[in-house]
Amino acid sequence: MDNLFCEGLKENNIEKLLSVPKSDLHNHSTKGCRRLWLSEQLQVDIPEPPQHLNGLDGMQDWFQSSIKPFCNGYENMVLRWEGAFAEAKRNNITRLVMNFGTAEVDQVGTVEDFKNLIEGFHKEYCPETIFEAELTYPSFCDVEVAGEEIDKYLSSGYFKAIDICGGENVKPFEAFLPLYKKAEKYGLVKKMHVGETGSADDVRRAVEVLGLAEVHHGINAVASKETMRFLADNQIQLNVCPSSNVMLGFAKDYGTHPIKILVENGVKVTINTDDLLIFDSSIENEYLKLYQSGNLTAEQLDKIRKVGLGEK
């Protein structure tokens, strides 16, 4: 498989890249399907994204104006979830982590109803894939209220990780401790979106304050040798999303994307899609873009692929 993946990159052979097992560990579930798949299901022409989306606000504006009108409502949210599992099958994603908000779970019904729905898609499309549901909270949430209700979601045992997303430095990291203490009680993997717009110091502090095992994004850690050494020494994994970073303007281009510096400093990284429906770059394409830009070698990218699969 190692040779096949490296050959696929060097030969620009999509079929070879698709055939090799891969992971996607940073995937926002309601935006986790391919644009073309959704277009085919709905029989509509969903527009391609522009090359630049002007930050998080620009991304949300474009999603709401150019994609959401085609796929609004509960049934279409469920369809987009289905599409994420269809993509896992198409792309041989053998380890998949998707995050879900509590409001999305509640729309389905009980946590058991939600589990049955999601597991139906999992079993239909990619039953051999290791699937891990991640419970996510927006950074602007009412932590006190969320903390009182979180047991309802975690006691099911279905969620394997916790995450905070939706903008950095909205509240101090300490404000989220009630949620992370509950997550620890239930044995969840603790993660957070940090270091995409925030600083290297933010990345380190988030890890130290909340006891994170993984960071979603974290690319601005490159600004500090000390922070990178801290991440490497403590085996903190950064789940990096190259197209997201480039298209939102948080990285200049693929050739100079910070993932290269992170790898060279021994930081553990994975490569992921973030919002596939918006950025329109599936997982094999993320690897290909980094390779073709000269950022990383085929061999380095293959090592990253194995990290995502949990291999040593």
Q: What is the pLDDT of residues 89-118, one digit of tens each?
A: 999 999 999 999 999 999 999 999 999 999
Q: What is the mean pLDDT of residues 190-203?
A: 97
Predicted confidence at residue 121, as pLDDT, reads 98
Query: Can you give the pTM of this predicted structure?
Result: 0.96
Q: What is the pLDDT of residues 162-174, one digit of tens each?
A: 999 998 999 999 9
Predicted confidence at residue 12, as pLDDT, reads 97
> In the structure, what pLDDT confidence band is assigned to residue 311 with cuts at 50, 70 and 90?
confident
202 close to 195: Cβ distance less than 8 angstroms: yes
Write down all domains in the chain, each with its CATH number in brackets.
2-308 (3.20.20.140)
CA quadruple 148, 111, 87, 302: dihedral positive or negative?
positive
Report the C-alpha gap between 200 and 265 in whole angstroms. 14
**In this model, does residue 2 exceed pLDDT 80?**
no
SS3 125: helix
> In the structure, what pLDDT confidence band is assigned to residue 54 with cuts at 50, 70 and 90?
confident
176 close to 164: Cβ distance less than 8 angstroms: yes
Q: What is the rounded end-to-end Cα distance, in angstroms, of the chain?
A: 15
